[in-house]
Homo-oligomer: A and B are copies of this chain.
């Protein structure tokens, strides 16, 4: 192995990354669903390019800042899948974005839809109506989508369609049922918008855990994010195999205090995300029985379940619970290929507004 930077740092396995991209592209082609991957997961120009090379129709982002970075790197079709509040600066930035690429945003109320049409200028930025399919975060009820779309159209915004994020798929008992909820909610929303005499070009959904269960009879577009890397959450949900995990945090064993191995990959490198179903604060790629049982800012305490501890000074590969959160802490991702180590800038890191 080539000598990398000082630990902790994030490493990408490029073969696994490409396999993940290929598998998603095949799924999309087989099922006639367009792929619009979520760039919030990787925030890098290099992976955005790979996604487009693998047939993505465009990218999805969470913030105007992420969209700006992706546009600077040549992405020409961007959907901010978020019910943005259009204050003056954000409106100006979106108008500028729309001048250099095909842009869309989410709206989830009549007021927001009216505002979008009025502030962004006629037909400058498309809108998609966000519906709540069961996560109960943002989004209107499916039956309300018609009124929201009509308000947008009345304010001279082009309505592209409807979207949802079935985030309740991150409950291990609901990965399949969340996909069914998603299909039902989007079908109802589509009908509601068409009932207003408006065309629905795009019906967009998708989350990595529910991906395999997607109702391809309803969705025309999927927006998975995590599928590029995988993480301990996907592994523990059974949504991705250990062998597909393409992102790890390289860490050094710094202590054997208390008979456990302590790593230098704390929550400032791995992030503190821990779902109710998580078995710890992270996993180890080469030690599937080990668990990160205690996490502080610069310490991950690992219980090796009776197995011999790796010696102090040894490097190990930690699988973060949530890859999007870990990437958001790093300035670069390190990629080793053909014995060469190069870095990809996490170009949109910190672009949260």
Q: Which of B138, B254, B328, B352 contacts A83 (CB 8 A)?
A: B254
Complexed CA–CA distance, A289 and B121 (Å): 40
Q: Check if A137 sits within 8 Å of B296, measured CB to CB.
A: yes
A77 within 8 A of B: no
Instruction: Check if A272 is an interface residue, CB within 8 A of chain B.
Output: yes
Contacts of A257 in B (CB 8 A): 83, 108-109, 132, 136-140
Chain B residues with CB below 8 A from A272, complex form: 271-274, 322, 325
A254 — which chain B residues lie within 8 A by C-beta?
A: 82-85, 138
Q: Is A243 located at the chain interface by the 8 A CB criterion? A: no
Tally of this chain's copies: 2
Give the complex CA separation of A174 and B144 in angstroms: 50
Partner-binding segment picked from A2-10, A27-35, A45-53, A188-196: A2-10
Q: Chain A contact residues (Cβ within 8 angstroms of B): what range? A: 35 or more
Instruction: Give chain B residues whose Cβ lies under 8 Å from the Cβ of A328.
Output: 268, 297, 329
- Let me know if A89 is at the binding interface, CB within 8 A: yes
Contact between chains at B253 and A301 (CB < 8 Å): no
Q: List 25 A-B contacts (CB under 8 A).
A: A6-B64, A7-B353, A63-B298, A82-B298, A84-B254, A85-B264, A87-B313, A109-B255, A109-B256, A109-B257, A109-B312, A112-B312, A132-B257, A136-B257, A136-B258, A136-B301, A138-B299, A264-B353, A267-B273, A267-B325, A271-B272, A272-B273, A272-B322, A329-B329, A329-B352
